[in-house]
Amino acid sequence: MSAEDEKSEFRIPNSEFGSRLIIFTRYPEPGKTKTRLIPALGPEGAADLHRRMSEQTMNWARHLQNHSSISIEVRYEGGNESLFRQWLGPDLFYQAQGEGDLGERMARAFAQAFESGMERVILVGTDIPGLNEGRVQKAFEKLQDHELVLGPAKDGGYYLIGLCWPMPLLFRGVAWGTSDVFSQTLKLAQDLNLKVYLLEPLQDVDGPEDLPVWEKFGLGNSPPPSPSPSRGEGVKKFRRGPLTIPSPARGEGKLIEIKKKFPPP
């Protein structure tokens, strides 16, 4: 399918409904989670840090859901649906990420969300402590008059991608796991003549050098992310410390407008 074929059915939605937040995460199994942090934290510590970051993400995501019409879908690796329901609660929709590289899994998640009737879809991970409800809400708002919203990560990837129609071409030919992911995706967006909004850059927590980011933004004393009494069974807990609220950073709101003619409504 060509870029023009993909764009032919595009309409910018005006509805406040039909919005979905997809969260990519994995089960916090020691030795298989955040492996780059194992030299600094050990297998148990790395897995537990991933658990804490996932729970922090779920906490602000639930708050966003409670104050809007946004639905939440958890796409997971490792474990199974039963383990995730015990950990994060039974009131969410869970779906395995499935086979393929990261791009194929993300493209599949977006395609299935739009097939289910969604009009605006945002996908995030769980290793960006500076990401919060307000930033994601802003991303949904920007999808009212932009075709693509990206949150660039400081390591060269991106921490958020939002679409309002399926764009499988955005996920092809990208060197996933490298510092070129964001620049390659932006080039693909330019080739597709998309109207793009860029959020402020944020830093993820991937290696030992990134741990100060978690210490700054992530040591929260927020309430548990799930009302389920069975949440967290079999998952070791860390003691929580005070939370530092991030201040606005420079660089947010950069708008890329590429010449484009939209089809008539």
Q: Is the pLDDT of residue 243 over 50?
A: no
| Residue 169 CB-density burial (10 A; 0-12 exposed, 13-18 middle, 19+ buried) | middle
256 against 29, higher pLDDT: 29
Q: Is the pLDDT of residue 205 over 60?
A: yes
What pLDDT, in 10s, does the model give residues 88-135?
999 899 999 999 999 999 999 999 999 999 999 999 999 999 999 999
Residues spanned by the domain of 144: 17-244
pLDDT at 217: 82
Do the domain assignments include residue 11? Answer: no
Structure-block tokens of residue 112: 């299935």
Do the domain assignments include residue 6? Answer: no
- Give the CATH number, domain containing residue 58: 3.90.550.10
Instruction: Write down the pTM of the prediction.
Output: 0.79
Total structural domains within the chain: 1
pLDDT at 17: 53
Q: Is the pLDDT of residue 233 over 70?
A: no
Structure-block tokens of residue 121: 């879809």
What pLDDT, in 10s, does the model give residues 45-69?
999 999 999 999 999 999 999 999 8
Distances (CA, A) of 64 to 20, 49, 83, 122, 237: 11, 23, 24, 13, 24
Do the domain assignments include residue 4? Answer: no
Do the domain assignments include residue 237? Answer: yes
Do the domain assignments include residue 2? Answer: no
Q: Is the pLDDT of residue 232 over 80?
A: no
